[in-house]
């Protein structure tokens, strides 16, 4: 079954996460397919820009707890989004949780409809937003990240724009994105690549400096007893024992 669908229109390729049964969770299979699709886009001279979107009511629920990707594979995917010499635009019309926010952070532009919601839910199952911090910390408001990393609270699209997790939001995300895509189609491939390189330099410095440590932290946390209990409680739809 294909988990990432591809469509192309006037120099823009749309990659659609199509695993609604698990809310487009980042399984090893989905991460692999998305990595391959992005590699193909990078090599295709007909692709000026990429739109990353989804089916169903969830952009991505984060790591698939039944089939999680290796932390190294997730790091590689996030870095690929940042390094790709073509702009990547996230188009969100549903919910984004945990690792899904890492995808948003790695995209160059992120737009959502007003009904979208967001949450860093990692702390509630005994882990932390480790690997996804690589693109997020350099780009988002640190005070906002402190609140939402530590509490796991849900917040809306307007707040996500304020904190730098989104570029823009509107009632109709396609109307919101229309001038963005028009601008990308009017821009030269060389100009886009060089402009993106200027914008991503600090993000790539974070990858070079912190990727190994955060990958190790993620692996350690997910293998801990507390995380095993948190993930079991989540899958069984009950509160873990630390909820008071």
Tell me which residue range forms the domain holding 238.
Answer: 1-170+189-244
* 100 is a domain residue: yes
Q: What is the DSSP letter of 174?
A: H
How many distinct structural domains can be found in the chain?
Answer: 1
* 181 is a domain residue: no
* 180 is a domain residue: no
Query: At 66, is the pLDDT very low, low, confident or very high (cuts 50, 70, 90)?
Result: confident
Q: What is the DSSP letter of 239?
A: -
pLDDT tens figures, 98-115: 999 999 999 999 999 999
Q: Please enumerate in sequence order all residues whose Cβ is within 8 A of that of 220, keeping only pairs 6 or more positions apart, or say none.
A: none
With a cut of 90, say whether residue 153 has pLDDT above it. yes
* 29 is a domain residue: yes
Q: What is the pTM of this model?
A: 0.96
* 179 is a domain residue: no
Question: Quick check: 52 and 88 in contact, CB under 8 A?
Answer: yes
What gap in Å lies between CA 119 and CA 94, rounded to an integer? 12
Residue 58: CATH number of its domain: 3.90.226.10
pLDDT tens figures, 134-150: 999 999 999 999 999 99
The pLDDT of 17-28, averaged and rounded, is 96
Q: Please enumerate in sequence order all residues whose Cβ is within 8 A of that of 191, keeping only pairs 6 or more positions apart, or say none.
A: none
Quote the pLDDT of residue 1.
Answer: 83
Count of Cβ atoms closer than 10 Å to residue 34 Cβ: 20
């Amino acid at each position: 079954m294909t988990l990432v669908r591809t469509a192309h229109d006037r120099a823009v390729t749309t990659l659609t996460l199509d695993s609604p049964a698990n809310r487009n969770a980042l399984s090893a299979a989905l991460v692999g397919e998305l990595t391959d699709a992005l590699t193909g886009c990078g090599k295709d001279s007909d692709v000026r820009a990429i739109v990353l979107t989804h089916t169903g009511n969830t952009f991505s629920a984060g790591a698939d707890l039944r089939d999680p990707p290796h932390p190294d594979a997730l790091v590689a995917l996030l870095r690929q989004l940042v390094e790709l010499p073509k702009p990547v635009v996230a188009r969100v019309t549903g919910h984004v949780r945990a690792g899904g926010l890492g995808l948003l952070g790695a995209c160059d532009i992120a737009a959502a409809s007003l009904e979208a919601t967001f949450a860093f839910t990692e702390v509630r199952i005994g882990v932390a937003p480790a690997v996804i911090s690589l693109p997020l910390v350099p780009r988002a408001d640190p005070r906002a990240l402190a609140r939402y990393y530590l509490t796991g609270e849900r917040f809306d699209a307007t707040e996500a724009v304020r904190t730098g997790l989104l570029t823009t939001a509107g009632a109709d995300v396609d109307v919101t994105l229309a001038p963005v895509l028009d601008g990308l189609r009017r821009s030269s491939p060389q100009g886009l690549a060089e402009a993106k390189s200027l914008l991503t330099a600090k993000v790539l410095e974070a990858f070079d400096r912190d990727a190994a440590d955060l990958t190790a932290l993620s692996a350690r946390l997910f293998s801990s007893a507390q995380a095993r209990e948190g993930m079991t409680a989540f899958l069984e739809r009950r509160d873990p024992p630390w909820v008071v």
